[in-house]
Chain A
Amino acid sequence: MTSNIRLISRLDIKGSHLIKGIHLEGLKKVGNPNDFAKRYYKDGIDEILYMDIVASLYGRNNLQEIIKETVRDVYVPITVGGGIKSVDDAREILKCGAEKVAINTAATKNPDLIKQISKRFGSQSIVVSIEAKKISENKWEVYTENGREKTGLDVLEWAQKVDNLNAGEILITSIDQEGTLKGFDYNLIKTVSNNVSIPVIASGGMGNINHAINVIEDSNADAIAIANVLHYGKMSTSTIRHKLIEKNINVRKFY
């Protein structure tokens, strides 16, 4: 079998709150991230993704206390992103019990950091997060700072470069679709996934089960990041899992 598709709950954090916005903006507080992480774990989530969305702004990641608390109750992999600028920053996050770090801004400024973290902790420990904004039919630009800063980089070229620099995975978030519940940017995910050798996590836009099925079957996503529909209780992890199983999509069996 090929790899089983992973269901990842994405929790964007500001300060000590789980928040949710649209197009990575217009943020609303949803609750205590640990409570949500625990609930998703019990319901069979495959991974947890924490993003400190104001970290780059303040120059540091503030999730260490949250991670330390989460690992006491949640025994699935945790990826942590936001404000990680160096090998030392990555080490601090991993030391708290995270399995992987996600980097975006620092990688675009210093691509060699991907190589350094990979060499030190292994490629499996580094996820490169790419915020993509559509500029024409088959072209997307890389943004940073939650969609605030342009980089001038082309998404596909950048994705292939981070693959060559030994990143372990790519998390690709469509700024256009994020928070809209209107479905993923299927063309974006497909373009990246079919042209890199590492797993691609599709993020941004999941609103119903057909969105998940489409991005897995047509766009070759290796994992899907789910936020709003879980946070607002529109769907549960187990419902999503069982609907995917009904469609003969390979996922972890969890009872």
Chain B
Amino acid sequence: MSENFIKKISIIDYGVGNISNLLAAINYCGSEGRVVTNYKEIDSSDYIVLPGVGAFKYAMEQLKNKNMVESIKNHIIKEKPFLGICLGMQLMLNKSYEFGETDGLGIIDGEVISIKSQKPCNAIFKIPHIGWNKLIENKDSKSIYSNSLNDKYMYFVHSYYANCKDPSDIIASVDYNKIVMPAIIQQEYSYGCQFHPEKSGPEGLKIMKRFLDE
């Protein structure tokens, strides 16, 4: 690979949330981002980013309506890199219980459940989990991130979380009122992060760059 090689990153725009800040962050990291809106463009992508804010069910319906589900699965089968952010990470799991039961992409084993289901909220324990919280690295993970993630503050905003079946899929977690939830997950070349690296200041951009350099 030449020094001048710029990796082309495709951000999937399926009508769920904000793309422009993500695009800005990807370009800031030195990669070249492009926004893709149909499944053919996914088929021709080397690296895809699945963003998303909002409801799981609606997002999954959008991906299906746009024939993107098969394209994403093929991309994964071909061992091409993938990054899911926030809702995009949750969509990587088998299913979610948000607004009824909905199947996900099934890239990582597990289910998306509500934080509330683990502990009722009150005056000091608010849902959504909104704000800056620090990462706790999973010592047993086989990731390349060893010891570089601990105590880094990232911006989280979510009411549901990815309850992974296999703990070794979890690279880092976050502790919100003693509920420990996956913050970064990985399976082969696919990564997911619950926080918004593109909204987590300089430290978030550093992590983002490492995902993109994968």
Q: Could you list which residues of chain A lie within 8 angstroms of chain B, going by C-beta atoms?
A: 1-6, 41, 44, 46, 68, 71-72, 75-78, 94-99, 119-125, 168-169, 193-195, 197-199, 220, 222-223, 251-254
B interface, over-half SS: mixed
Taking the closest CB of chain B, its distance from the CB of A131, in whole angstroms, is 21
CA distance A199 to B156 in the complex (A): 13
The interface residues of chain A lying within 8 Å CB-to-CB of B126 are: 3, 197-199, 222
B158 in contact (CB, < 8 A): yes
Listed residue (A3, A125, A194, A199) with the most chain B CB atoms within 10 angstroms of its CB: A3
A193 touches B123 (CB 8 A): yes
Q: 8 Å CB contacts to A: which residues of B160-192? A: 175-177
User: Chain A residue with minimal CB distance to B99?
Assistant: A119
The answer to whether A125 and B19 touch (CB under 8 A), given A76-B199, A77-B199, is: no
B21 and A71 form a contact (CB under 8 A): yes
Closest to B132 in A: A252
Within 8 Å by CB of B177, from A1, A77, A94, A252, lies A1
Give CA–CA (A169, B123) in the complex, Å: 13
Distance between Cα atoms of A97 and B204 in the complex (Å): 17
With contacts A3-B131, A168-B130, A198-B127 taken as known, whether A122 is within 8 angstroms of B199 at the C-beta atoms is no
Q: Which residues of A contact B176 (CB under 8 A)?
A: 1-3
Q: Assess the B199–A1 pair: CB atoms within 8 A.
A: no
Name the A residues within 8 Å of B124 (CB-CB).
2, 220
Q: Which residues on B sit within 8 Å (CB–CB) of A123? A: 128, 159
Selected from A44, A97, A168, A195, the residue in CB contact (under 8 A) with B128 is A168
Given A3-B131, A94-B17, A124-B157: A197 and B122 within 8 A (CB)? yes
CA gap between A193 and B121 in the complex, in Å: 12
Select one of A5, A6, A124 contacting B158, CB under 8 A: A124
Give every chain B residue within 8 A of A96 (Cβ-Cβ).
18, 20
Inter-chain CA distance A77–B21, complex, in Å, is 9
Residues of A within 8 A of B177 (CB): 1-3
Partner of B175, one of A1, A99, A119, A195: A1
